Chain A
Amino acid sequence: MPLLAYIIILPVIAAALCLMFKRAAAALAFVMSVDALFMAFSLFTGGRQELPLLSLQAYPLNSGIYLVAALIVLLTVLYSLKFIGRHERLGEYYGYLMLALAATAGALFAEEFLMFFLFWGVMGLALYLLIGIGGKKAAGAAQKTLIILGGSDLLMVAGAGLVWIMTGRMEMGGTLLAVNNPLALAAFLLLLAGAFAKAGVMPFHSWIPAAAEGAPTPVMALLPAALDKLVGVYLIVRISLDIFLITPGGTASLILLAVGSFTIIAAVLGALLQHDLKKLLSFHAISQVGYMVVGIGTGLPVGVAGAIFHMFNNALYKSALFFCSGSVERQTGTTEMKKLGGLGQKMPLTFAAALIASLSISGVPPFNGFVSKWLIYQGIIEGGQANQLWIIWLMAAMLGSAFTLASFVKLLHATFLGQGAELTAKAREVEWPMWLPPIILAALCVIFGVFAYQLPLRYLILPAFARFIIPGIWDPGLATSMLGVGLALGLLIYLLGNVRSVTQRPAFYGGEILPEETIKVTGDDFYDTVKRIRPLEQIFKIAERKVFDLYEVSRVVVGGAAKIASRIEEKIWPMF
């Protein structure tokens, strides 16, 4: 039997066994995840493979994505050993994780629309069930998630139908359709709706913050942060490269650039104002996907390569950040930032991982996020020859990066730095199964940044493209060396100078000495003033009424129509 068949069948069997044998579920899931990683590696190094019976095909790009997905599944299972512990729905939890793994593989390797929809839908189902593990408080979020994902899937089927009409084929690729007529544009938009919903692009994003409130944290680390992004963005890439012809400056390109830029800015502004760790991260999960959409929207190899690289990077640092927030939650019982602080000393490994992941997501060199954003910026600039709006997209991307850094400064300060709080007083480092996964991911963020060209770009991304030249000058090795020298100089100055001789004096207010606990600066409300900036004030007010939430708007419209229909049925129909 071909390896591709095992990659799908074995996790399905593991899922069934987990559901049947609750006590052995964790061990089963762990063994299966290790096996999946080995299989993924074999597939990745084994070249192109096919399974015609299920219309599956593996090639460098999708097997590379599966490799990263399998790694994150393994780390999630490892993390869950302690985080989930002896949860009463343990069997279901691991069973659904394995189901998600199998569905991810199927969706990545599917070459034909109907088969793709099957696996894609099962992924959504697994996500729904996993969010539902969170219990009653997560029920609403699970409902919202499945309605958005299931609904957008129906739109996607209609899109596939249009492609079928135009090409006579149900295969995902082989013909490149120009988006130059209403039918092609409709097909393009309908297919994108499904991909956007899964990846969390605005306006289909609202399930992610909702899920963050109730779902178990490892679920957030695995699905919305990693697998859904990997598969969702992979689909956008396939739509844009294999099904449609995206020309720089064309309609499709403009749509992607506009939606991507809006997603970057709107979501990052939302993130700035969050007071809960998980919700803040969930808004970044939305914002980051905007970069990927912008990169693909450039329609240029360098931009698309940047988008794919950013997709990998996002999976690494976003999962790491969710793992870190889960560790904080487990040790303190909260993710509200105003109740946290000073955890850096008590949870040094978690802090180190969170710091690296935060700098990576903020696009600080020499970490991986910088390189992928750099490529996307280059794509935008290079595409500027085709469209004069390039400056808007570039500003959105760069401003988004600055806001991301600002919001992570807040997160790091409020959670790990500053003064301690009541809840953090007794906190200590989590057990190794919980600190190891974010540390591994943080290490990968460094490796993917410093050796960007030697490793990820060379092995994961460039094989998917014909050779292209990356314009501009960026040598990660040189940059890292210079940064290292800079940091060493700073340390030298710190050690040789008298910076350490700090004088501490009590704070006075109205002639009284203020007790230390009353002058605590949490950093939680650093950016609340953003809400009062003139043009933004109105936008935030509108956003609070959920006007930008497509789900909520649809709920109001459909609810109104349902009431009218019900009234007709009650009052008018009986007359006939």
Chain B
Amino acid sequence: MANVLTLFIILPLLAALFSLPLRRGRDWFFTATAASLLALALYCYQIRPINNLIVFKFNGISFLVLDGLSHFFLLGLALAALIYAFYSFGDSKAKPFALYLLAALSGVILAGEMISLLLFSLIMLFGVGHFCQKEGKQIGLGEKASLALAGLFLAVGLISIMFFSGSTLLPMAIGNYPLVVKVLVIAGFALIAGVVPFHRWLVNAGSPLIYAMVNSVGLYGLLRFSYNIFGLDSRILLLMTALGLLSLLYAGLIALARKNIAYNNIAQTGLALTAAGLATPLGIMAAIFHILNLIMIKPLLVYADEAADKTKGVVVFAALLAGWLANAAIPPFNGFWSTHYLVLATVQKGNWPIAALLIAGALLILVFSIKTLKEKCFSGESGEGAKVSWPQGTALMVSVLLCFLVGIFSSNVIMQVVNPAVIALANGTGYAKMVLGGLQ
């Protein structure tokens, strides 16, 4: 049963290898792989006992681990990949690299021991640069240096943890380390998540796949280590809150000044990170739910924006409207609920300055969203006469429907998808016992 976990890595890797020499058919390869991964992620909900985990052991060590948190992120990853598959249908240059990236990202999420985690992370960082170049993004020295720095932080941090704990197993790494080690790991994942002050690479390299998948994996690392490995160290939680608020306010302001979606996405990540730093059940739930919503919203904003520049029609209008309203936290879309839970979580915590700053940041995002919506939807200017192609239209409509349906059925989504991840995080260092078989 646990062998199924290897498929999350092997499938995209094989697909990448097979599709690389192909000139035609890359799109189909990618779409089929993404769909298979989504089906696999959903299948795992059937086989994984609730609030428990599946461990794939290799040579007696827990090589891959699927718990509530990693399951949540795998589902998000597969969903984002499938939507990307449809939207970018016909543009197959970057597809093999996207598959390669998908394998590495799945590896980071599933990794149960630190050497594989480090390797998958380095492969992922290497893949990000190549993927962005193939996507036509301007990847300069600064961006490459940022990605390399993330790799360096993680390498030094994880090797130090292995040194101090005397084990390569992630569950064995639970313990108290020097602050600098913890900060290095947090900084590494913060760079991948693209939060301020580690955000510059994302502004130029940002693409829907990076926003939805790579940044999410960065957040995964931040959550996994701060909650399950470092055991809710108050200094690390404070650092996360500070990084979250800085990202939220700073990037929120720049988004307004420069009318740039990348900064909006950084601010949104900051919103989730701020709540994650609260370490309350409601805060964790709000953060996880917001991350899920961002996986849907961020790519939709970019896709709709691109589509609006070239085409027009009801689908593009609906995509712009739903995307920006969800981003602005206007009901009935999904962003409304998660943003409101974020506000409630900070108020519940009783830390008024944080609550006030979070609300101010959410207001900045709202203002940016509504202003952009006005320019895109109500300015009277529209793209050329052409209509959006069917795969792109499908991707946009699926995203719109997801934003709408998750908003309408938010309580069900929270119960079924979000809560297992919340429980995994709230379990704190109990994660180790579960992985090591104590609760299995």
Interface residues of A (CB under 8 A from B): 114, 117-119, 121-122, 124-125, 132, 135-136, 138-140, 142-143, 146-147, 150-151, 154-155, 157-158, 160-162, 164-165, 558-559, 561-566, 569, 573-574, 576
In Å, the complex CA distance between A72 and B350 comes to: 43
Which residues on A sit within 8 Å (CB–CB) of B366? 147, 150-151, 154
B354 vs chain A, min Cβ distance (A): 12
Nearest residue (CB) in B for A568 is B250
Q: Are B344 and A140 in contact (CB under 8 A)?
A: no
B330 contacts chain A at the CB level, 8 A cutoff: yes
Contact partner of B332 (CB less than 8 A), chosen from A118, A158, A164, is: A118
In Å, the complex CA distance between A561 and B367 comes to: 14
Proximity bits, B237-267, A CB within 8 Å = 1, else 0:
0000000000000100110111000000000
In Å, the complex CA distance between A143 and B336 comes to: 18
In Å, the complex CA distance between A562 and B367 comes to: 12
Q: Are B343 and A161 in contact (CB under 8 A)?
A: yes
In Å, the complex CA distance between A135 and B373 comes to: 14
Which residues on B sit within 8 Å (CB–CB) of A122? 331-332
Can you list 12 pairs linking A and B with CB atoms under 8 Å apart? A117-B331, A146-B330, A150-B330, A154-B343, A155-B359, A161-B348, A164-B348, A165-B350, A558-B253, A562-B256, A564-B253, A565-B253
Nearest residue (CB) in A for B407 is A118
Given contacts A160-B344, A566-B253, A566-B254, whether A118 and B362 have CB atoms under 8 Å apart is no
Which residues on A sit within 8 Å (CB–CB) of B197? 573, 576
B315 vs chain A, min Cβ distance (A): 13
Q: Are B370 and A143 in contact (CB under 8 A)?
A: yes
In Å, the complex CA distance between A118 and B367 comes to: 19
In Å, the complex CA distance between A184 and B363 comes to: 23
Sorting the interface of chain B by its residue count into under 10, 10 to 19, 20 to 34 or 35 or more gives: 35 or more
Q: Are B370 and A162 in contact (CB under 8 A)?
A: no
B329 contacts chain A at the CB level, 8 A cutoff: yes
In Å, the complex CA distance between A165 and B366 comes to: 26
Q: Are A139 and B379 in contact (CB under 8 A)?
A: yes
Contact partner of A150 (CB less than 8 A), chosen from B329, B344, B377, B380, is: B329
In Å, the complex CA distance between A151 and B330 comes to: 10
Q: Are A562 and B254 in contact (CB under 8 A)?
A: yes
Q: Are A140 and B374 in contact (CB under 8 A)?
A: yes
Nearest residue (CB) in A for B263 is A569
A91 vs chain B, min Cβ distance (A): 11
Given contacts A122-B332, A143-B370, A155-B359, whether A161 and B253 have CB atoms under 8 Å apart is no
B58 contacts chain A at the CB level, 8 A cutoff: no
Which residues on A sit within 8 Å (CB–CB) of B362? 154
Q: Are B378 and A142 in contact (CB under 8 A)?
A: yes
B110 vs chain A, min Cβ distance (A): 34
B264 vs chain A, min Cβ distance (A): 13
B20 contacts chain A at the CB level, 8 A cutoff: no
In Å, the complex CA distance between A573 and B336 comes to: 32
B183 contacts chain A at the CB level, 8 A cutoff: no
Nearest residue (CB) in B for A129 is B321
A137 vs chain B, min Cβ distance (A): 10
B324 vs chain A, min Cβ distance (A): 10
In Å, the complex CA distance between A564 and B373 comes to: 24
Q: Are A565 and B363 in contact (CB under 8 A)?
A: no
A360 vs chain B, min Cβ distance (A): 35
Given contacts A114-B340, A142-B374, A143-B371, whether A154 and B359 have CB atoms under 8 Å apart is yes
B184 contacts chain A at the CB level, 8 A cutoff: no
Chief secondary structure at chain B's binding surface: helix
In Å, the complex CA distance between A532 and B366 comes to: 40
Which residues on A sit within 8 Å (CB–CB) of B329? 150, 154
In Å, the complex CA distance between A150 and B333 comes to: 13
In Å, the complex CA distance between A139 and B325 comes to: 15
| Known contacts A124-B330, A143-B371, A143-B378, then 12 further A-B pairs from the complex at CB < 8 Å, ordered by chain A residue | A118-B332, A147-B370, A150-B370, A154-B343, A154-B366, A157-B340, A157-B344, A161-B344, A558-B367, A563-B257, A566-B258, A569-B250
Which residues on A sit within 8 Å (CB–CB) of B202? none
A117 vs chain B, min Cβ distance (A): 6
In Å, the complex CA distance between A114 and B142 comes to: 45
Q: Are A125 and B330 in contact (CB under 8 A)?
A: yes
Which residues on A sit within 8 Å (CB–CB) of B374? 139-140, 142-143
Q: Are B364 and A161 in contact (CB under 8 A)?
A: no
Chief secondary structure at chain A's binding surface: helix
**353-400 of chain B: CB within 8 A of chain A:** 355, 359, 362-364, 366-367, 370-371, 373-374, 377-380
Contact partner of A146 (CB less than 8 A), chosen from B142, B256, B363, B370, is: B370
B366 vs chain A, min Cβ distance (A): 5
In Å, the complex CA distance between A565 and B364 comes to: 13
B347 contacts chain A at the CB level, 8 A cutoff: yes
Contact partner of A132 (CB less than 8 A), chosen from B256, B347, B378, is: B378
Which residues on A sit within 8 Å (CB–CB) of B186? none
B255 vs chain A, min Cβ distance (A): 8
Given contacts A135-B380, A150-B366, A565-B257, whether A158 and B343 have CB atoms under 8 Å apart is yes
Which residues on B sit within 8 Å (CB–CB) of A569? 250, 254
B134 contacts chain A at the CB level, 8 A cutoff: no
Which residues on A sit within 8 Å (CB–CB) of B378? 132, 135-136, 138-139, 142-143
Sorted nearest first, the 8 A-B pairs with minimum C-beta distance are A161-B347, A121-B331, A566-B257, A139-B378, A565-B253, A562-B257, A562-B256, A562-B253
Q: Are B370 and A561 in contact (CB under 8 A)?
A: no
Which residues on A sit within 8 Å (CB–CB) of B367? 147, 151, 558
Which residues on A sit within 8 Å (CB–CB) of B364? 558
A543 vs chain B, min Cβ distance (A): 23
Q: Are B331 and A118 in contact (CB under 8 A)?
A: yes
Which residues on B sit within 8 Å (CB–CB) of A157? 340, 343-344
A519 vs chain B, min Cβ distance (A): 43
In Å, the complex CA distance between A348 and B258 comes to: 54
Nearest residue (CB) in B for A567 is B257
Q: Are B332 and A558 in contact (CB under 8 A)?
A: no
In Å, the complex CA distance between A160 and B341 comes to: 11
Q: Are B253 and A125 in contact (CB under 8 A)?
A: no
In Å, the complex CA distance between A307 and B377 comes to: 39
B130 contacts chain A at the CB level, 8 A cutoff: no
Which residues on A sit within 8 Å (CB–CB) of B142? 574
Which residues on B sit within 8 Å (CB–CB) of A118? 331-332, 336
Given contacts A154-B366, A558-B253, A562-B254, whether A121 and B330 have CB atoms under 8 Å apart is yes
Q: Are B330 and A162 in contact (CB under 8 A)?
A: no
B48 contacts chain A at the CB level, 8 A cutoff: no
Contact partner of A125 (CB less than 8 A), chosen from B250, B258, B331, B340, is: B331
B200 contacts chain A at the CB level, 8 A cutoff: yes
B328 contacts chain A at the CB level, 8 A cutoff: yes
Q: Are A136 and B331 in contact (CB under 8 A)?
A: no
In Å, the complex CA distance between A154 and B253 comes to: 18
Q: Are A136 and B380 in contact (CB under 8 A)?
A: yes
Nearest residue (CB) in B for A149 is B330
In Å, the complex CA distance between A121 and B332 comes to: 8
In Å, the complex CA distance between A559 and B254 comes to: 10
> Quick one: which of A117, A135, A150, A151 has the most chain B CB within 10 A?
A150
> Quick one: which of B197, B331, B343, B359 has the most chain A CB within 10 A?
B331
Nearest residue (CB) in A for B367 is A147
Which residues on B sit within 8 Å (CB–CB) of A565? 250, 253-254, 257
Given contacts A118-B336, A121-B331, A558-B367, whether A158 and B257 have CB atoms under 8 Å apart is no
Given contacts A117-B340, A161-B344, whether A151 and B363 have CB atoms under 8 Å apart is yes
Nearest residue (CB) in B for A145 is B370
Q: Are B336 and A121 in contact (CB under 8 A)?
A: yes
In Å, the complex CA distance between A165 and B344 comes to: 10
Which residues on A sit within 8 Å (CB–CB) of B256? 558-559, 562
B330 vs chain A, min Cβ distance (A): 6
In Å, the complex CA distance between A154 and B356 comes to: 11
In Å, the complex CA distance between A503 and B348 comes to: 78
Which residues on B sit within 8 Å (CB–CB) of A150? 328-330, 366, 370
In Å, the complex CA distance between A157 and B362 comes to: 12
In Å, the complex CA distance between A357 and B378 comes to: 35
Which residues on A sit within 8 Å (CB–CB) of B343? 154, 157-158, 161
Which residues on B sit within 8 Å (CB–CB) of A162? 347
